[in-house]
Chains A and B, each alone.
Chain A
Amino acid sequence: MSLLQTAELIVSVPGRVLCEDLELRIEPGQRWAILGPNGAGKSSLLHTLAGIRAAAGGRVLKEGVELQALPPRARARHIGLMTQDDELAFPSTVLEAALAGRHPHLGRWGWEGADDIALARQSLADAGLAGWEQRQVDSLSGGERRRLAIATLLTQQPGLALLDEPSNHLDLGHQLQLLDLLCGRFADDRHALVMVLHDINLALRFCDHLLLLPGDGSWQAGPLDTLATTDRLGPLYGCELFEIEVGHHKAFIPAG
């Protein structure tokens, strides 16, 4: 059974339809990349898939149940979203921020138990933030905050992880390390991963399905092998691309 499914989904902003009649099935074990130019509606679509943005039409279904009909906490146990940026009005410690991922698992008056705290600590360690638990979040750099957001997502333990530009602010080494970590965690037979990426080559390396979103209402979705071609990706970004092969890796570089 698919983890998430859309039916005739329409995502729009005032005055413009970004993507029309989208039919998407996200199955366990799949790793999707959403590619498209700036302003194509990648984040809006991701938020709609996460159930926190109303669709202009159509439905998003979780195992046959419409997402909007689920109680917010139940929805958040199923779907995790890592947003592009976070804003902080009042600083908290790194451990408190990671523990926020347990919120959907706790009742209104519940407190995080020893298991929750151990899980948050382990997630922080996995994201390379071991020993940082008592640091204030506002003292972290952009890349470190990104790692904290990943740790929070790991603490949340959703079935489906939606990532908005997860490689933002990360250096090359951390990009590979953390995407490896996320793919390892979310690509088994109970989980799936959908990420908005700007780097085609990261998508080639870490994903097996593509959703191409030009922003004019059209879309193309399918296995990576069929969609990752110069004549599909070039027009998407409005530039000419060369395909090269290095070792076992396929890569795209801009021409000229």
Chain B
Amino acid sequence: MTRPTHPLLSRGLPTLLALLLAALAGLLFTLTQGSTDIPLARIWQLLWHDDGSVEHLIIHQLRLSRGLSAFAVGGLLALAGALMQVLLRNPLGDPYVLGVSGGAASAVLAAMLLGLPVFWHPPLAFGGALFSMLLVFSLARRGNWTGNRLLLTGVVVAAGWSALISFVLSLSPPVRLPGMLFWLMGDLSDAPPPGPGLLLLLLGLLIGLGLARDLNLGSQGELRARSLGVDTRRLQWLVYGLASLLTAVAVSLAGAVGFIGLVAPHLVRLLAGSDHRIVLPGAVLLGGTLLTAADTLARSMIAPQQLPVGVLTALLGVPVFLFLLNRPARVR
């Protein structure tokens, strides 16, 4: 008799491996793109040896740093999206649906209107996101918890932020508008060094993986999860807090990059099933890769001018997602 293999290993591991390779390819791709032409062999050499040249500076300080920032932001958003979808038991969940980005955007736009230096934008974005998260939390926690109550509270708070954002935009002098719109669509050109973002991403993923089986049960319904020994109340608040914090970090690094958080988890589910032990790392890899690729194109397509990366994530992501969603079901 053959030993039965774990069902996750047959489909999940190959997918994760492929996504890991794609992530490395994406990073390599972003290193080759830019105004200075550096051949691949030279890039490889420069990655490991500092020869004091300008090219070394370009590869490390500019391209690698920005590529890793993009990867961190994409990974954070995809992870937060996957968590939100389980929390709300709704496939339309994304990191922004509960108003976290709205709080961040309102704070940053107000800062831009007042002409505060760029240096202040990340901490303000983080503060705004945190404020919005606590606001929704304190409004939704009264009474019995249901996913719908949280969703409704979050959506209404988000609508409030959205009105505030429009208000600030309409007050702003035209010269400041492009910067504001770039921020709203997501933009990595002012992103700080990637280290902290990557570290938080790793930490968030580890916590998420520790909750992965609970998340699987949680998405099967509250009663079922509880009867199988999941403390659903604790799980819900934990997931809410984690997803909101991850989103707040992502938004403070790169503005409100759309689409990744909704689509990356679903793409992984389509490829490898719904077990979160696979979905969470898969979404991180895919989200990071998507944003790295999109950001590379955003800064190189019509160089020297840059596009907001959020525009490209949607332009690339929509057709890919629709194709995968509508492809004929595999014969099982």
Contact = CB atoms under 8 A, between A and B. Distances in A.
Most buried by B among A47, A73, A103: A103
B156 to A, nearest CB: 22
A41 to B, nearest CB: 16
A104 B229 contact: yes
B227 A111 contact: no
A100 B4 contact: no
Interface residues of B, number: 33
A83 interface: yes
Interface residues of A, number: 43
A118 interface: yes
A83 B223 contact: yes
Contacts of A74: 229
A117 B6 CA distance: 7
A103 B221 contact: no
A99 interface: yes
B90 interface: yes
Nearest to A115: B4
Contact of B273 (A52, A73, A76, A96): A96
Interface string B261-298: 00000000100011101000000000000000000000
B229 A114 contact: no
Given A87-B89, A89-B91, A117-B4, A100 B228 contact: yes
A83 B3 contact: no
Most buried by A among B85, B214, B224, B269: B224
B219 interface: yes
Interface in B1-23: 3-4, 6-8
A156 B223 contact: no
A100 B216 contact: yes
B251 interface: no
Interface in B205-223: 209-210, 213-214, 216-217, 219-221, 223
A79 B210 CA distance: 24
Contacts of A106: 213
Contacts of B169: none
A109 B209 CA distance: 8
Contacts of A91: 274
Given A90-B219, A92-B216, A114 B3 contact: yes
Contact of A100 (B6, B85, B220): B220
A47 B217 CA distance: 17
Nearest to B214: A103
A81 B210 contact: no
15 contacts: A72-B229, A73-B229, A76-B229, A79-B227, A86-B220, A86-B224, A88-B221, A89-B220, A90-B269, A92-B274, A100-B216, A104-B229, A111-B277, A134-B332, A156-B228
Given A72-B229, A89-B220, A92-B274, 17 more contacts: A72-B226, A83-B221, A86-B221, A86-B224, A87-B220, A88-B219, A92-B273, A93-B7, A96-B7, A100-B217, A103-B228, A106-B213, A111-B6, A111-B277, A117-B4, A118-B4, A134-B332
Interface of A: 47, 50, 52, 71-77, 79-81, 83, 86-93, 95-97, 99-101, 103-104, 106, 108-109, 111-112, 114, 117-118, 121, 133-135, 156
